[in-house]
Structures are given as C-alpha cells and as structure tokens.
Amino acid sequence: MAIVGLENIVYAKVTQDDKTGVQYDEVKPFAPAITAQVETAQESATQYADNGPISVITQTGETTLTLTVDEIPLEVLADILGLELKKGVLIYKQDAVPPYIALGFTGNKDNGAKRLVWLTKGRFSIPSDEWNTKTDSPEFQNQEIEGTFIRREFDKVFKIVGDTDIPDFAPYVDTFFDTVFDLSVLDS
C-alpha cells in the first residue's frame, strides 16, 4: 500500500536518556503538516578474501528530517529551539541550545490504514524564512525546518513505527501518541 497523506505532527522533550532509562515530557502538537521527508544514513562495507566478497557490514547513522508545515507557532519554536518567548516576542540568542525532542506523525495509506511514526531523539535547527509580496493569485508561503535525529542512549532505538494494517498493533493505535511509545508494553 502507498502512503497518501500526512497528519498529526506532535513532539515531546526528552527529559532523561541514560543507561538507567528514557523519559519524555508531555506530548504537544507541532504544526499543521504538509510534507515530512525522513532519511536515515547508512554506510556499507564489503570484506573481500579468496578473490571475492565474503562479508558485508552496514552501519546506521543519523536520521535527517525535513518538515514542511503551514506555520510553526512561536511557542513551539521557542520550545524546540531553546529560545525565549516573552510577551509575544521570540528572542533568538546566539548561545541558545535546542533541547532533544521526540517527534511523531501519522501517514495515511491508500487503503484507509495508517502508519504511525516516532523519531525518538533529535534536535531542530533554526528554520529559514521566506516572504513574498502579494500578486494577483494567492500563493502560500510555508515553513520548512530540519532536524537531526539519533539513537537513544538507553536502548539505541532511533525510530518506532506502527502500522494499523497489522492486527497485533490494534491495542496500541489509540494510545500511540499519548506519550512517546513505550516499547516495554510489547513484552506484556
């Protein structure tokens, strides 16, 4: 089945990620979704011996996310970029450090099913802005933001995907985005 839609972008700040466990803040809405492009870097190497290939290893690297949205609210920008929002004014500082966040979204499939995704730990960079003058035909100016996501220290998980086409996933569909999906529920 093909993915034919995108909706429900949400995020949660990472509050703990170490060898003892992972914790997240509350899940909050991000911005109205237009496109999400997720690319995970992978490098492969082949070992040769006895005049031919005998082994292949693959290393998974960071995941790059490019989001196009309608408009990111200032309070969300402040939250995900580590900026200060004061009386409706967003203050960009050179030394601001973005917090780690998890980001989730829903992909709609052409058969009516859904693919639910969490990227578990990453940081966003400041989005570029573009404004155009009005012309005779209206033109939307959307916002694009990029983030780099990595594995969690706790369990090395970098992405969690659920699919409503799979009957075993049914118990988790309604709560998948209540919190960042807790993999331990799969063991019970």
- 33-51: pLDDT as tens digits: 999 999 999 999 999 999 9
Output the average pLDDT for the chain: 94
The backbone torsions φ and ψ at residue 71, rounded to the nearest 5 degrees and listed phi first, read -165, 130
Residue 163, both tokens: 């699919």
Domains and their CATH numbers in the chain: 3-43+56-179 (2.30.110)
Helices then strands, each counted (H, E), the chain: 1, 11
Tell me, what's the pLDDT at 1?
65
Q: Between β-strands 143-149 and 52-69, what pairing exists: parallel, antiparallel or unpaired?
A: antiparallel
- At which residue do the structure tokens 């983030």 appear? 147
pLDDT tens-digit series, residues 117-172? 999 999 999 998 777 888 888 888 889 999 999 999 999 999 999 999 999 999 99
Tell me, what's the pLDDT at 130?
78
pTM more than 0.85: yes
Spatial neighbors of 89 by CB under 8 A, at least 6 apart, are: none
